[in-house]
Each structure stands twice: as C-alpha cells, then as structure tokens.
Copies of this chain bind each other. A is one copy, B any other.
Amino acid sequence: MSKFPEKGLPREEVLNLLEDKTKVDLTFSSGKILGSMCTMPHELAIEVFARYIDRNLGDPGLHPGTRKIEEEVIEMLSDLLHLEKGYGHIVSGGTEANILAVRAFRNISDAERPELILPKSAHFSFIKAGEMLGVKLVWAELKQDYAVDVKDVEAKISDNTIGIVGIAGTTGLGVVDDIPALSDLAREYGIPLHVDAAFGGFVIPFAKSLGYDLPDFDFKLKGVESITIDPHKMGMAPIPAGGIIFRRKKYLKAISVLAPYLAGGKVWQATITGTRPGASVLAVWALIKHLGFEGYREIVRKAMELSRWFAEEIKKLNNAWLVREPMLNIVSFQTKNLRKVERELKRRGWGISAHRGYIRIVFMPHVTKEMVEEFLRDLREVLK
C-alpha cells in the first residue's frame, strides 16, 4: 500500500520515477497499438491544451471567450453534420454523450416504463445509460452483414419506446447502420432517433467526399434528433473530448440543471460534469481551424486506403478471413485457433485483442503501412 508521503521529492526525481513506472505502457509511437480507437493527439492540440489548461467551462461566466469558442465548435460540427443550428456540448467522451441523449429522450417522454431500442452492436455506454437512467434496453437483431435489422427494430417499438439508436461506425466492425431507414421509421412512429457516430462522425463525411459509398447518417435525415461525435477519436483531439449535438433546443433543456454558486454567475448545465476542461474545447477548435475539411479528408483518405489494402491482404491468407467487408477504417478478422493466435500476437507486443471472437484493427492516424506490414509478417508466422 502506498502511503501519502510526508515529505515531497524534487521535481526531476518525480519525473524520473514517472518515466520509469510508465515504461510498460504501450504508446502510440511504439508502432504496436493496432486495436484502439484513440490515437496520438495532434501536436497543435497538445500545445493548445497545455496553454489553456486553466479554463473551466463549468464556470463559463469567468471564461466568456472559451464559452463562445465552444459555441463555435458546436456550430462547426453541426455544419459538418448538415444542421444549420445545433445545440450541444463538447463532453468527456462518447459515453457521456450517449448517456445525455438517452437522458434527454427519457425526460421528454411520458412513458411509464421507458424502453430504448438499440442494435445488438451498440457500445456498452448504453448499458451504463440504461442502468443509471432506469431505461430498459431492447436489443434489436443484426442482419447477416452485422447492420441492424430495421424490421426487427420496428417490431420492437412499443408505447414505452422513448427512442431508437442507430450506429454510424460500430465499435466492433465499423458498420454503419441503415440510418436512412431508421430515420424513416422514427418519423413514422414519432420517436426520436439517436445516432452514435462517436467513431464515424469524423470519418464518414470525409470518406463520402472521397467517393466511398456510405449511407447518409446525419441531420440531413429528418428523423435524426441527436448525434454523438467524438473529437478524441478520429478528430485527433486529446482525451477528454466527446461531442453531443441535438437538433432541437428542447432536448438540451430537458437535461439542464441550475448551477448556483459559480464565480461567474449562475448557469444552466446540461452536461453530467460540473467543472469541465475548457482546454479540450479550445484544442478541438484549433484542430478544426488548422486542418479544415481538406486536412481531415486527407487523414481519412490514408486510413481508408490502408484499411482496404489490409483487408485484401487478409483475404490472401489461409486460416484467416474477414468478418465482413470493411465500411470504415476498421477491419476485423477471424482465424483458426483464435485464442492461440491472439496470445502469440500479444506476446510479440501487439496491442490487439480478440475477446469479441475476432481481432479488430482500427486504422487510426498513428497506424502506418510499415506497422501493418510488420503485423502481417507476424500474423503469417503465427498462422503457420
């Protein structure tokens, strides 16, 4: 058991200890992390984060400039998602964003035993949301292609349904559900649709503009009432930076709580967090301004091309096969003797895992062709 130390150590000694203790961490520059949806943040974002690390958006009256910039970030993300005026926040991550959407749907609904219909491929943040918020999760089946079965979603709608979830980039396989069909369904039944684009939000708009054939997934579709989009995944922002955007103000109002006490004056808070890092918001703003649509498109182009090349390489292997053709920059594959293969790859230092029944490779910006070639060499050896 570590004790709270009586005396302090010199700063250099602390830094050395820290360096030593974190040696066992895999870093994105190690060339070994292939299975994470996070990446090394962009250097500009790190500089901005450190420079403005004192800003607290939990007390926006003190930091009106940072608050204004958050509004601009929400405007820019709304624009990216084809919404003229959106309502939302940069939050701690996709989990908070998804919880806020479910909370808004629950609070607006008058269902006595609220139920949320969501694909079996949904992220486990919805399990947290359901448990915390007392919302029953009604799981919809997937089709053979691992996209949600829209007919099964429809069959599961009841008087207690407070909302439907569609996924734009599933965590396991990067599948984009048929959001247009879900949107039609949502409008037909008058039920709000939430799109979890935590991963896909910073991929699909750019991939579509590159010519990849992907379904619409955003506010262009009238049934979509809220979208989760995470800058700290493919947006290259530092953790923590998730995003939630609502089409209508009423959703944000439905989850707002009055915050007294603050030095800058009282405000309504829709986020779960109270004190929250303004630096995250400034970093996201800086990245969008610095990279622009063209910069992100280039990042996505490389990631998509590499993922397609990798998928073709997997197809050439004996004893390994794709779970399905990739839609985004995520490729998942199965192998013979999967447990043994996983163990052996991990032993060789690869940051992957196979506990979903397949190995998932996420082609994040830090993943280079050299890394993937080395991984394939190891994989071929292990499969022999």
| Chain A residues with a Cβ under 8 A of chain B | 1-11, 14-15, 17-18, 21-28, 33-38, 40-41, 44, 46-50, 52-56, 58-59, 61-66, 68-69, 72, 75-80, 84-85, 92-96, 99, 103, 107, 123-125, 127-128, 131-134, 171-172, 232, 238-240, 242, 257-266, 269, 272-279, 282, 285-286, 288-295, 351-353, 355-356, 360, 362
Q: Would A92 and B273 be within 8 Å (CB), given that A38-B56, A63-B26 are in contact?
A: yes
A238 touches B53 (CB 8 A): yes
B274 touches A94 (CB 8 A): yes
Please, how many angstroms separate the alpha-carbon atoms of A125 and B273 in the complex? 8
Whole-angstrom distance between the Cβ of A120 and the nearest chain B Cβ: 12
A77 touches B4 (CB 8 A): yes
Please, how many angstroms separate the alpha-carbon atoms of A257 and B131 in the complex? 9
A275 touches B1 (CB 8 A): no
Contacts of A360 in B (CB 8 A): 261, 263
Contacts of A232 in B (CB 8 A): 275
Q: Which residue of B lies closest to A133 (CB)?
A: B132
Closest 8 CB pairs between A and B? A35-B263, A8-B292, A22-B65, A95-B274, A2-B75, A50-B50, A25-B63, A4-B80
A94 touches B351 (CB 8 A): no
Please, how many angstroms separate the alpha-carbon atoms of A44 and B50 in the complex? 12
Contacts of A279 in B (CB 8 A): 238-239
Q: Would A7 and B351 be within 8 Å (CB), given that A2-B79, A54-B40 are in contact?
A: no
Contacts of A49 in B (CB 8 A): 49-50, 53
Whole-angstrom distance between the Cβ of A237 and the nearest chain B Cβ: 10
Contacts of A80 in B (CB 8 A): 4
Q: Would A79 and B171 be within 8 Å (CB), given that A62-B36, A124-B259 are in contact?
A: no
A65 touches B292 (CB 8 A): no
Q: Which residue of B lies closest to A59 (CB)?
A: B36
Please, how many angstroms separate the alpha-carbon atoms of A262 and B77 in the complex? 27
A134 touches B131 (CB 8 A): no
Please, how many angstroms separate the alpha-carbon atoms of A124 and B292 in the complex? 38
A64 touches B24 (CB 8 A): yes
Whole-angstrom distance between the Cβ of A228 and the nearest chain B Cβ: 12
Contacts of A290 in B (CB 8 A): 8-11, 14
B56 touches A46 (CB 8 A): no
A-B contact pairs, 22 of them (CB 8 A): A3-B75, A4-B76, A4-B288, A7-B292, A10-B290, A11-B290, A22-B55, A22-B66, A24-B65, A25-B55, A25-B66, A26-B264, A38-B54, A46-B50, A53-B239, A93-B275, A125-B274, A132-B132, A239-B277, A263-B351, A265-B353, A266-B355
Q: Which residue of B lies closest to A259 (CB)?
A: B124
